[in-house]
Chain A
Amino acid sequence: MTETMVNLSTSDTLADSAGVKIQPHVSCHDFSVFYGDFEAVKKARMEVERNRVTAIIGPSGCGKSTLLRAMNRMNDFVPGARAKGKMCYRGQNIYSSDCDPVELRRRIGMVFQKPNPFPKSIYRNVAWAPKLNGYRGNIDDLVEHSLRQAALWEEVKNELDKSALALSGGQQQRLCIARAVAMQPEVLLMDEPCSALDPIATSRIEDLIHELKTRYTVILVTHNMQQAARVSDFTAFMYMGELVEFGETDLIFTSPKQERTQDYITGRFG
């Protein structure tokens, strides 16, 4: 067992009061997701550290997207899906009845597999959610700030009124990141953000992820092991719904503890 795994067994409060270890930003404790009778995520345990990039890898259908979507309760809208166990954000169980899922999603933003800008102008794509949530500051500043953070400002600053759908795929994905960032979340969930993009656009997004982690905690699902190795600080490997191994990326890729992890990263299946 790695050190991280050991830490998992201690409760949040203990770690908190001890003050030795920083409270994990997001963590799951024997967390399971069911689609009807099918258990898509089986008793996952992991702790995501603040301002780090955590990658979740694994073969397709292993439940990595389900786990990611569970982190801001996006699975609520999937008919027949239900969660068991604890998923904590800053130590608070987000699946308890006193958690407001809408507020949760404002703090945990998400970027999806396929770029999905709204069929509105670039400006309104970014400004939509802040306006909706009663943002008090200057919206124009916020839009510029967000687009800058997503490294898109220079490309679109003269055509903010253009339809977002007219952008290229990579630009659309960065716009989606800007849109998520505009809500000033603490955590960014990214569900295979590069799978629909060409290699150049992919590398730009990867650079962007590097920059983003100075401000946000990034959790990234990817089927691309090289990408995980390039951008992440921590890596979780999932297989058939089980979270097989979790640890620092270097360790996972150089000396995995589990045989299944070894098999996967050396390409014996997947």
Chain B
Amino acid sequence: MSTEVTPFKRRSLTISRSASTRMRISGLFGHGLLLLITSSSALLIIFIFYYIIREALPFFKIRGFVEFFTQNAWHPVGNPEEFGALAIFFGSGMVTLGSIIFAVPIGVVAAACLSDILPFSLRQLTKPIIEILAAIPSVAFGFFALVVLAPLMQNHGGLILGGSVWVVGLPLLFLASWIGAEFLATRIDGKNLPTTRWTLRLVLSVGGLLALWYVAGIFGQMRVTSGTNALNVSLVLGIMALPTIVSVSEDALQSVRRELREGAYALGATRAETMMWVVFPAARSGITAAIILGVMRAIGETMVVWMAAGGAEQIPTPWYNFLEPVSTLTATIAGEMGEADHVTGSARYHVLFCMALVLLTISFVFNFISDRIIGKGGLAKGKSA
């Protein structure tokens, strides 16, 4: 052993009562300070609610509730002024629905592919795509929608629409005729003979092709009068919602226990069957949460709709016409506040806070539901949330 080193100066092990009290108080004080800072972070949401409600209430006092929620005439600077926001609600709902119709099938199937099909190395390659897509600022998406997509749609609308019908329709048609033939062949002679099957397949495919040709023709004839419309925005919002949907559903799919999958494989199920009948049902709640988060992303997005939705406060005719320009809650707030904040105190200013309140409430409810679902799902699988 080496030479001795300088010993420590020892403090007494016993501490006096006053020192002990002092330590306890300073400990409590520190703890209290931390709690204070933390709860001030949390208090912000209550502040947000308070200030939005405070600024929204004067509108309801002046104009009441009925007009805002049930009329669709929006003329905040008209004479007389009209504040019917129904068309704007409709616009928000419409583009959100559109984006979800586009994003959910792609997102969920991509998540399944990522979690169960692709080998690990390929998955690592795919991750950056999702991360980059999630990181790109919304104004860049808006710019893309306005400057790239909108002129494209306006000038080649029919071609694009007709083309997409073919692109989406052909694989689906092929699958549908295959499955349909299987199903019908069993029904017809009960024996499912190859000849019957192939005849049915042929008949169904030809019929489907004709139908597809007809539909694509209709779409191909369409003229897109304005490139900034609900369809454009739905597409871009869908792309923006994809990373959320993919990553949350992938988490959900991966947290399904391996034994469940192995059980299905052991019974002779193919991978597709295992996914369809075992994994997806088990991950149902997680996928629901993913969809809700995707909806939240789409409904709260401002820049894309402001730049590229066309800004028309109207319910399209017919209502499902995605080629018409629309306006949304977020875009209306962003667009009108610039002019309205000069006249603080008018109904025109406060009505925008009413819209913010509606948005806030929707996001609160959705967030609550998705938190619940994720929390519950986690517990059901024996994981602590």
A104 to B5, CA, bound (A): 21
A27 to B20, CA, bound (A): 24
Contact B6 A136 (CB under 8 A): yes
Given contacts A133-B8, A135-B8, A148 and B2 within 8 Å (CB-CB): yes
Contact B11 A142 (CB under 8 A): no
Stretch from A92-100, A235-243, A249-257 forming part of the interface with B: A92-100
User: Which of A98, A100, A136 meets B9, CB within 8 Å?
Assistant: A136
A98 to B8, CA, bound (A): 22
Q: Which residues of B contact A142 (CB under 8 A)?
A: 5-6
A112 to B8, CA, bound (A): 23
A85 to B17, CA, bound (A): 21
Nearest Cβ on chain B to A24's Cβ, whole angstroms: 16
Q: Which residues of A contact B16 (CB under 8 A)?
A: 98
User: Which of B4, B7, B13 meets A104, CB within 8 Å?
Assistant: B13
Q: Which residues of B contact A89 (CB under 8 A)?
A: 13
Contact A99 B7 (CB under 8 A): no
A141 contacts the other chain (CB 8 A): yes
Nearest Cβ on chain A to B172's Cβ, whole angstroms: 53
Nearest Cβ on chain B to A104's Cβ, whole angstroms: 6
Nearest Cβ on chain A to B58's Cβ, whole angstroms: 48
User: Which of A99, A135, A138 meets B13, CB within 8 Å?
Assistant: A99
User: Which of A98, A135, A184 meets B15, CB within 8 Å?
Assistant: A98
Q: Which residues of A contact B9 (CB under 8 A)?
A: 134, 136
Chain A contact patch, size range: 20 to 34
A107 to B1, CA, bound (A): 21
Contact A145 B17 (CB under 8 A): no
A149 contacts the other chain (CB 8 A): yes
Nearest Cβ on chain B to A119's Cβ, whole angstroms: 25
A92 to B14, CA, bound (A): 9
User: Which of B6, B7, B14 meets A100, CB within 8 Å?
Assistant: B14
Q: Which residues of B contact A107 (CB under 8 A)?
A: 10, 13
A259 contacts the other chain (CB 8 A): no
A92 to B17, CA, bound (A): 16
Nearest Cβ on chain B to A208's Cβ, whole angstroms: 12
B12 contacts the other chain (CB 8 A): yes
Contact B6 A103 (CB under 8 A): no
A137 contacts the other chain (CB 8 A): yes
Q: Which residues of B contact A48 (CB under 8 A)?
A: none
Contact A103 B11 (CB under 8 A): yes
Contact B8 A183 (CB under 8 A): yes
A144 contacts the other chain (CB 8 A): yes
Q: Which residues of B contact A100 (CB under 8 A)?
A: 11-15, 20
Against A, the Cβ 8 Å flags (1 = close, 0 = not) of B272-293 are 0000000000000000000000
B13 — nearest CB in chain A belongs to which residue?
A: A103
Q: Which residues of B contact A141 (CB under 8 A)?
A: 5-6
Contact B20 A97 (CB under 8 A): yes
Contact A137 B6 (CB under 8 A): yes
A249 to B7, CA, bound (A): 33
Against B, the Cβ 8 Å flags (1 = close, 0 = not) of A121-148 are 0000000001001111110011011001
Q: Which residues of B contact A133 (CB under 8 A)?
A: 8
Nearest Cβ on chain A to B41's Cβ, whole angstroms: 23
A153 — nearest CB in chain B belongs to which residue?
A: B2
Contact A145 B8 (CB under 8 A): no
Contact B2 A103 (CB under 8 A): no
Q: Which residues of A contact B15 (CB under 8 A)?
A: 98-100, 103
Q: Which residues of B contact A148 (CB under 8 A)?
A: 1-2
Nearest Cβ on chain A to B270's Cβ, whole angstroms: 43
Nearest Cβ on chain A to B14's Cβ, whole angstroms: 5
Contact B20 A98 (CB under 8 A): yes
Q: Which residues of B contact A137 (CB under 8 A)?
A: 5-7
Q: Which residues of A contact B3 (CB under 8 A)?
A: 145
Cβ < 8 Å to A, chain B residues 6-55: 6-17, 20
Nearest Cβ on chain B to A51's Cβ, whole angstroms: 15
A184 to B17, CA, bound (A): 27
Contact A145 B5 (CB under 8 A): yes
A135 — nearest CB in chain B belongs to which residue?
A: B8
A33 to B368, CA, bound (A): 40
Q: Which residues of B contact A130 (CB under 8 A)?
A: 8
Nearest Cβ on chain A to B24's Cβ, whole angstroms: 9
A147 — nearest CB in chain B belongs to which residue?
A: B2
Q: Which residues of B contact A104 (CB under 8 A)?
A: 13
A144 to B2, CA, bound (A): 9
A144 to B5, CA, bound (A): 10
Nearest Cβ on chain A to B30's Cβ, whole angstroms: 15
A146 — nearest CB in chain B belongs to which residue?
A: B5
A90 to B12, CA, bound (A): 13
Nearest Cβ on chain A to B158's Cβ, whole angstroms: 62
Q: Which residues of B contact A97 (CB under 8 A)?
A: 17, 20
Given contacts A99-B14, A141-B6, 11 further A-B contacts (CB under 8 A): A92-B14, A97-B17, A98-B16, A99-B13, A100-B13, A100-B20, A103-B10, A106-B8, A107-B13, A138-B6, A145-B2
Can you pick out 24 interface pairs between chain A and chain B where the beta carbons lie within 8 Å of each other? A92-B14, A97-B20, A98-B14, A98-B15, A98-B16, A98-B17, A98-B20, A100-B12, A100-B14, A100-B15, A103-B12, A103-B15, A135-B6, A136-B6, A137-B6, A137-B7, A138-B6, A141-B5, A142-B5, A144-B2, A148-B1, A149-B1, A184-B7, A184-B8
Closest 7 CB pairs of A and B: A137-B6, A100-B15, A145-B5, A148-B2, A141-B5, A142-B5, A184-B8
Chain B contact residues, CB within 8 Å of chain A: 1-17, 20
